[in-house]
Amino acid sequence: MANRLLEVSDLEVAYGDVRALWGVSIHVEAGSVVAIVGANGAGKTTLLRAISGLLPVRRGTIALGGASLAGPAPEAIARMGIAHVPEGRGLFRQMTVLENLELGAFQPKARANMRQALDKAYALFPRLKERAGQKAGSLSGGEQQMLAIARATMSDPKLLILDEPSIGLSPLVVQQMFSLIETLHRQGVTILLVEQNIHQALKIADYAFVLKTGEIAMQGTGAELIADPEIQKAYMGVLEL
């Protein structure tokens, strides 16, 4: 077995009495990009929120490098090395771009490297440097998404979780987004990516899981799934750009 960073086994999560995940198992190798795809309401966001501690685990296990993530509060999980860019981005809109980035390095370990992390983020996102003093809420949609990702990289996380980063962006910006994810990948960041843009996601993913009504319906390398006729028929017919 290669170097498993994240291991989710037999995970069950429910909203009250309504179960949303039924025994989901996924794994993420260190240094890889793993995609989770599936229709609306399949449970993708639910899975990510359970990993980062925003939803309680009903059954099963979640482990990051051997340490259990089922139990600790979200802030503790963040400090263990998970940076989650949530659906809707979770920016502090009333605060400046720079303040958002600084808060990305709030945890004590990251705080010490604030300066270097900031330089690195600005090198990757020059636009954010120009807009450092502007309120996050005043940025364009694409810039906001870049800021959300840049903020998440400020803590030099072991695992970067992205929930639909391309949502609501123009096709051109979507391209920028995906090439950015590839750049981060090349820099060695491990990424767990949820996407509605299935073709693009599978293209850059080393490995992918298909989630269907709360269960893993299929898994394989990105290339395998792209070539799969069932996937093409079910998910890529209309979404192809």
Partner 1 sequence: MFDFPPPQIFLQLSLNGALGGAMYGVAAVGLSLIFGTMRLIFLAQGAMIILAAYFVRALFQSFGIDPFLSLVIVVPVGLAAGWLIYQGLFRKAAVEEDRNISLLIAVGLMFLAENLMTVIWGGNTAGVVTSYTASGIHILGIRTSFTRTMGFLIALAGTGLVMLFLRKTLVGKAVRAASEDITAASLMGISPHRVNAIAFAVGIALAGAAGVAVATTFPFNPFAGFIFSLKALVALALGGIGSVAGALAGGIILGLIEAYVQFFVGGSWTNAVAYGVFLAVLMFKPEGLFGRPYKKA
Q: Name the helix (H) or strand (E) containing 29.
A: strand 18-29
Strand pairing category for 59-64 and 4-15: antiparallel
Binder to partner 1 among 93, 187, 213, 227 (CB under 8 A)?
93
Which among 208, 153, 215 has a CA at the least distance from the CA of 183?
153
Could you say which of Mg ion, ligand ATP, partner 1, none residue 41 binds, taking C-beta under 5 to 8 angstroms by partner kind? Answer: ligand ATP
Which among 43, 42, 207, 89 has a CA at the least distance from the CA of 51?
43
Is 17 one of the binding residues for ligand ATP (CB under 6 A)? no
Is 54 one of the binding residues for partner 1 (CB under 8 A)? yes
Helix/strand/coil for 116: helix
Binder to ligand ATP among 46, 145, 197, 200 (CB under 6 A)?
46
Is 75 one of the binding residues for partner 1 (CB under 8 A)? yes
Query: Measured from the CB atom, is 18 or 238 closer to ligand ATP?
Result: 18
**Binding string, residues 128-147; x marks residues near partner 1 by CB under 8 A:** ---------x----------
Q: Which stretch binds partner 1 (CB under 8 A): 12-20, 69-77, 194-202, 218-226?
A: 69-77
User: Across the beta sheet with 207-212, what order do the strands follow?
Assistant: 82-85, 159-163, 190-195, 33-37, 207-212, 215-220
Could you say which of ligand ATP, partner 1, Mg ion, none residue 240 binds, taking C-beta under 5 to 8 angstroms by partner kind? Answer: none
Is 43 one of the binding residues for partner 1 (CB under 8 A)? no
Is 41 one of the binding residues for ligand ATP (CB under 6 A)? yes
Question: Rounded to whole angstroms, what are the CA distances from 181 to 2, 35, 53, 169, 233?
Answer: 22, 12, 24, 15, 26
The answer to whether 201 touches 34, Cβ cutoff 8 Å, is: no
Query: Measured from the CB atom, is 86 or 222 closer to partner 1?
Result: 86
At which residue do the structure tokens 């995940």 appear? 21
Query: Measured from the CB atom, is 157 or 214 closer to partner 1?
Result: 157
Could you say which of Mg ion, ligand ATP, partner 1, none residue 22 binds, taking C-beta under 5 to 8 angstroms by partner kind? Answer: none
Which among 206, 101, 93, 220 has a CA at the least distance from the CA of 152?
101
Helix/strand/coil for 4: strand
Is 45 one of the binding residues for ligand ATP (CB under 6 A)? yes
Query: Measured from the CB atom, is 143 or 163 closer to Mg ion?
Result: 163
Query: Measured from the CB atom, is 40 or 94 closer to ligand ATP?
Result: 40
Residues of the shown chain interacting with Mg ion in the complex, contacts defined by CB under 5 A:
45
